[in-house]
Amino acid sequence: MQRQLTELWYREGAHASLLQPLGWLYRGLLAVRARAYAASWLRSESAGRPLVVVGNLTVGGTGKTPLTIWLSRELAAQGLRVGIVSRGYGGRESRSPRSVEAGAQWREVGDEPLILARRSGCPTMVGSDRVAAARALAARVDVILADDGLQHLRLARDCEIVVIDGARGFGNGRVLPAGPLREPLARLARADALVVNGSAEHASFARALPGARLLEMRLVGEEALRVDEAAAPRPLAAWRGERVHAVAGIGNPARFFAALRAHGIGVIEHAFPDHHPLAAAELEFGDGLAVLMTEKDAVKCTAFAAPRLWYVPVNAQLAAADAQELLERVLAKVRGGLPQPGGQL
């Protein structure tokens, strides 16, 4: 069902759909909610420090987590103490804020927050109450990055970055459940930056964002690491011409499979739902071929790591001009909310 809906949503042209009436209803509910915040019937709450949301408008993975890691490093290089907040999807549900340590178990804190904490080195907090989680970081940091949360209006933000998949775009341009949009396309006008993962090749870009300034990002992964950490990293080029099992439990598995094929690797696809809790039996394919998976999947496999299990970490990469522009836009928003020497926020 999930795959069928995804295929339907991401067709370039909008076709007649029995789900459209539900989409109209959902759109109406979104409008009522937005009006409630605009009229202060519902209130956004400050974390006590400048906050940057890295989110998306569509269902499915767009590359938010790698961009959050990139931004955390860039801001740290500017001398800022950076913290990261996430709901911790896939981990043990808790409203109380919970600190994510590098050695934590993914079932406790979630898969993506564990990667964020390990790769960024920043204090990372999870909790279904993201306002409370962000406030728990406030005394330790200068700026907070929220991985996801564009639609979480209760959490006040100073800057919004929307990440868009270049190959999928906005699909058929409809809101859930008739399309992949969490909010109408008009929401993009309020974002401080639009970052496209890959080239903006989908036809929906021309319809939704004619003439808009889009910053381009690529996800780069050139080597694989063994899940059991018992071997040196291996370049993906070393698998050129070989067949491997490729495992991806992410929002857009096709992107991972395509990246492996671009290195000349013969891919046997095994796509799982996003955040799927992999079990050892699901990685037994009855042959001796290597298994390449995403980093998000690998954190769930450490308990049954085997020599044939490898993962491919990726990094966000932006052209120099786009990287500078994005950082300048964020700093312009963030620095205005920082406490001055001897003063208060």
Planar angle of CA 129, 134, 137, nearest 5 degrees = 135
User: Which is nearest to 329 in space by CA: 160, 165, 211, 189?
Assistant: 160
> What is the average pLDDT across 135-148?
96
Is 164:194 a contact under the CB 8 Å cutoff?
Answer: yes
255 and 213 part of one domain: no
Encode 156-218 in three state secondary structure: CCCEEEEEEECCCCCCCCCECCCCCECCCHHHHHHCCEEEEECCCCCCHHHHHCCCCCCEEEE
> What is the average pLDDT across 28-44?
94
pLDDT band for 3, please (50, 70, 90 cuts): low
261 and 228 part of one domain: yes
186 and 198 part of one domain: yes
| Alpha carbon separation from 222 to 181, 213, 251 (Å, rounded) | 32, 29, 21
Query: Which residue's structure tokens are 């522009």?
Result: 325
258: domain CATH number is 3.40.190
What are the tens digits of pLDDT across the range 49-74? 999 999 999 998 899 999 999 999 99
197 and 139 part of one domain: yes
Residue 157, domain member (yes or no): yes
Is 269:257 a contact under the CB 8 Å cutoff?
Answer: yes
167 and 299 part of one domain: no
133 and 209 part of one domain: yes
- Sequential DSSP letters for 102-137: TT--HHHH-HHHHHHHHHH-S-EEE-SSHHHHHHHH
What are the tens digits of pLDDT across the range 178-237? 999 999 999 999 999 999 999 999 999 998 999 899 999 999 999 999 999 999 999 999
141 and 251 part of one domain: no
pLDDT for 12 equals: 57
- Rounded CA separation 106/113 (Å): 8
pTM value?
0.94
pLDDT for 173 equals: 92
| Alpha carbon separation from 174 to 16, 20, 54, 186, 305 (Å, rounded) | 11, 8, 22, 12, 41
pLDDT for 87 equals: 87
- Rounded CA separation 131/125 (Å): 11
230 and 328 part of one domain: no
Asked whether residue 13 carries a pLDDT value surpassing 80, the answer given is no
What are the tens digits of pLDDT across the range 249-272? 998 999 999 999 999 999 999 999
168 and 122 part of one domain: yes
239 and 203 part of one domain: no
Residue 306, domain member (yes or no): yes
Residue 42 main-chain phi, psi, to 5 deg: -115, 145
Residue 274, domain member (yes or no): yes
Name, in order, each residue with C-beta under 8 angstroms of 339's C-beta and a sequence gap of 6 or more: 345
Domain residues for the domain of 259 are 222-313
331 and 244 part of one domain: no
What are the tens digits of pLDDT across the range 82-139? 999 998 877 777 778 999 998 899 999 999 999 999 999 999 999 999 999 999 999 9
78: domain CATH number is 3.40.50.300
What is the number of domains present in the chain?
Answer: 2
Query: Which residue's structure tokens are 């070393």?
Result: 238
Planar angle of CA 261, 263, 269, nearest 5 degrees = 25
Please state, for a pLDDT cut of 90, what percent of the chain lies above it: 83
pLDDT for 337 equals: 65
Residue 169 main-chain phi, psi, to 5 deg: 55, -130
Residue 136, domain member (yes or no): yes
Q: Are strands 143-147 and 124-126 parallel, antiparallel or unpaired?
A: unpaired
Report H helices in the chain: 2-9, 20-38, 64-77, 106-109, 111-120, 130-137, 204-208, 253-261, 295-298, 320-334
Is 49:122 a contact under the CB 8 Å cutoff?
Answer: no
